[in-house]
Amino acid sequence: MERLLEWVRFYRSKGLTVLKVARGTKRCLIDDWNELPPEELEKMITEEDNIGIRLDGLSVLDFERPELVEALFTEGVNVLSQYTWVAKTGRGFHIYMRGLPSGKKNVKTDGLVEFKSGSGHYVTAPPSLHPSGSRYEWVTDVEKVGIAEVSPQALERMRRKVEVLQIFEAFIKGLEKVWTESHRHNLALWLSGVLFKLGYELEDAEVVLKAVALLAHDSEVNDRLRALADTYKKDRSEVGAWTKLKAELESIVGADRARELLSLLPRPKKTEEHAEGPDKPRSRYIIGGEVLDDGSLVEVVEGPRLLVYKDGQFEVHESLEVDGVVYNPYPHLPFALPRAPESLDVDPELWRDTKSFIMEYFDAPDERVYDVIVAGVAWSYFYREIRKSTPYLLFLGPWRSGKTRALEVFTALGYRALQVVDPSEASIFRIIEEFKPLLVIDEANVLDPNILAILAAAYRYGAVIPRVVDPDKGLDGIRMFKVFSFVVYASREQPRDDIFSRSVTVFCEKAVRQTKKLIDEEKAAALRTRWFAQRLRLYNQVRVNFTEFESEDGRMQELFSPLVVMSRLFGDPEAERNIVSYGREIEARVRSLETTSEEAEVVEAVIKAVESRGRDAPEYLTNAEIMGNLNGEWEPRRLGRLMTRLGFRRIKLSGGVRGYIIDYRLLARLMRRYDVPTSVIPPLEKAPPSLPY
């Protein structure tokens, strides 16, 4: 399209409202342009004009400093342009999104970025002439890529980030100029402390720090963010702040300019959270899932607002006062919220609709997996009320096999789903304790061993991690962090046995069919709300006996019984058959792994050594007797580790010979577990245990 009117017709074909803008400017000189119908506005445009797009149902981020794109998005312009419309302006970019935030419709930070939304605003569009003399151009191939649908909640978070930039505008612009390579590490560290002690939320502090670093072309932005995250994990008494930042600035620009820069730091508004006295009730933030003394369940829904549920009925409040305490929704929760549902009726199509949604984004090599994943989504809404244990869900496969996409889908649908990458040990148990989330972890193969130890315990209700939070208070300074959590994770390698054995594994391969790239946030929010409605409808009514999946293997019952129960509650017989069938296959895989393991080889060697004695069941076997029946080269130390792990007791014989006491009841159990046959020894269940030494 070379002619301007061709572009106008193209935009109109996409359902957009186009209006006349004075050539070479950004000004629309039409009265009531925000109220006139699209057809009338289109007739006014000539080939010599500029054109604008009225933001009917749209939101646009207008970046004057292109470096700030990555302060609001996780990706840069080139990646974003593959998923939504991105236009090059005179100095920056317009990023288009379909949807409107729930709050204010416009926030502007002069010279940095502006958030615009709704029919009261417009943006100049390609191929208009910019006042600088250049033309607006599309970075996106707009004939192939549509404008991305973005949820009101996500747009509200973006608007909030621009609002933070607006609040800190003067300070950011001032600090950018002194953010030099030799000082930026310390500046980031002490600024983190100041923001923490001022009481700013971590998400707001991240926006400020990231903006300064990006504008100053800091090549180590991620290091700055790690310093910030580490600061927010510490006790206030351990954090350096004002004095340190002041000294660092003085070393760069002198005392007077340092004082000026610090004066630009905005202070947050005072809150009533710690107010005292009869006329000022105490305030408390709620993150959702809390139960009040009267048995009411309080959840946080989009807004954020409070939904109070009791006895099959619910009400929605901006805040809630109970017994002199005012409860408010936590303002910046790190997970997507449901909306307040329209009803709490049975939803017979929910399982099928969720399965279809998952199939749009994730190509599973095994069709049964889709029902397993839907069951996992359902389980996320109920597992905390079961209060026994939870399976984990593992997406296992090589690079670019769809694991991350599967996690993104799970995060979009699950209850309080919080996706993290490379968390620290200190953050992980605090995240679980404070937010009680469905924990979604990518690249679990690079996790710290201390975090893996936490995950190995978190499947069991009541598991705690002790940590010293105040060494000066003795036993009172020890806090027990509750870590019970449903964990969904992805890994390129099989994790260690104690975590892998607690996981329902989905084996991933590279997709062989086309899947959607950008998750439909609106549809995800609708499904999330429907599942949330079922959570309320069945609150404290779901029961799992952990025998619903029939198996002699207790661990398999723990893993698959909850998924079977979910399929019976919300799915259909086919869904249950798929889950049970998949469970049988996983059970067979585990059985196969066990029967071909080193442990199985050692048990087989013990049986052979016993058989070689004829019908005389020996009370002990020497190392040499066992090793003589092993294949390959074995060292005594390696054999010793495995025999001890299997439960055999060591013995020292005359002449320094070492061996193991043979407990035949133990051996009988091991034979069944590792499927080791014997035809010489009588049924071992009837054999006596070994003699004590």
pLDDT tens per residue, range 197-236: 888 888 899 999 999 999 999 988 888 898 999 888 887 6
Q: What is the DSSP string of 501-539?
A: TTEEEEE----SS---SS--HHHHHHHHHHHHHHHHHTT
pLDDT > 90 in the chain, percent? 39
Which residues, 6 or more positions from 529, have their beta carbon under 8 angstroms from its beta carbon? 338, 339, 340, 341
* Spatial separation of the C-alpha atoms in residues 280 and 32, rounded to whole Å: 47
Tally Cβ neighbours within 10 Å of residue 75.
12
Q: What is the DSSP string of 394-451?
A: EEE-STTSSHHHHHHHHHHHSTTEEEEES--HHHHHHHHHHH--EEEEE-GGG--HHH
What is the three-class DSSP state of 103? coil
Amino acid identity at 100: L
Residue 259's alpha-carbon distances to 81, 204, 244, in angstroms, are: 42, 23, 13
Which helix H or strand E contains 59, and what residues bound it?
Answer: strand 50-63
Across residues 18-40, what is the average pLDDT? 90
Using 50, 70 and 90 to split pLDDT, how confident is the model at 635? confident
Task: Give the model's pLDDT for residue 292.
Answer: 79
Which has more confidence, 468 or 276? 468
pLDDT of 684 > 50? The answer is no
Can you tell me which residue has the tokens 């058959």?
Answer: 577
Cα distance between the two ends of the chain: 92
Task: Give the model's pLDDT for residue 282.
Answer: 62
Which residues, 6 or more positions from 241, have their beta carbon under 8 angstroms from its beta carbon? 190, 193, 194, 196, 197
Q: Residue 298 — left, alpha, or beta (φ > 0 → left; ψ -120 to 50 → alpha)?
A: beta
Across residues 620-637, what is the average pLDDT? 86
Which has more confidence, 596 or 3? 3
Tokens of 158: 């973006």
Across residues 665-682, what is the average pLDDT? 72
Using 50, 70 and 90 to split pLDDT, how confident is the model at 678? low
Tokens of 475: 């036993």
* Spatial separation of the C-alpha atoms in residues 607 and 253, rounded to whole Å: 80
Q: What is the pLDDT of residues 110-147, one digit of tens each?
A: 889 999 999 889 999 999 998 888 999 999 999 999 99
The two beta strands, 137-138 and 113-125, are: unpaired
pLDDT of 271 > 50? The answer is no
What is the three-class DSSP state of 355? helix
> Could you give the residue ranges of the DSSP H alpha helices within 308-387?
350-361, 368-380, 383-386
* Cβ atoms 161, 207 nearer than 8 A: yes
Across residues 374-381, what is the average pLDDT? 97
Q: Any idea what DSSP says for residue 232?
A: H
User: Hey, where are the domains in the chain?
Assistant: 4-150, 168-263, 282-329, 350-509+523-592, 598-686
Same fold, 4-150 and 350-509+523-592: no
pLDDT of 556 > 50? The answer is yes
Across residues 485-493, what is the average pLDDT? 91
Tokens of 368: 């049964």
Tokens of 316: 């929605």
Beta bridge partners of 298: 290, 308
What is the three-class DSSP state of 52? strand
Look at the domain 350-509+523-592 and name its fold.
Answer: Rossmann fold (3.40.50)
Instruction: Quote the crossing angle between the two packed helices 636-646 and 598-611, to the nearest 10°.
Output: 90
Of 156-170, 173-187, 537-551, 582-596, minimum mean pLDDT range? 582-596
Amino acid identity at 320: L
* Spatial separation of the C-alpha atoms in residues 366 and 58, rounded to whole Å: 39
What is the three-class DSSP state of 53? strand
Instruction: Quote the crossing angle between the two packed helices 221-233 and 184-198, to the nearest 10°.
Output: 40
Look at the domain 4-150 and name its fold.
Answer: Prim-pol fold (3.30.2250)
273-299: b (≥16 Cβ within 10 Å) or e: eeeeeeeebebeebbbbeebeeebbbb
Can you tell me which residue has the tokens 């400017």?
Answer: 25
Across residues 374-379, what is the average pLDDT? 97
* Spatial separation of the C-alpha atoms in residues 153 and 300, rounded to whole Å: 13
Using 50, 70 and 90 to split pLDDT, how confident is the model at 693? very low
Residue 331's alpha-carbon distances to 314, 317, 549, in angstroms, are: 21, 14, 41
Using 50, 70 and 90 to split pLDDT, how confident is the model at 7? very high
Classify 598-686 by CATH class: mainly alpha
Tally Cβ neighbours within 10 Å of residue 197.
14
CA angle 310–315–317, rounded 5-degree value: 125
| Top mean-pLDDT range of 296-305, 374-383, 627-636 | 374-383
SS3 of 626-671: the string is: HHCCCCCCCCHHHHHHHHHHHCCEEEECHHHCEEEECCHHHHHHHH
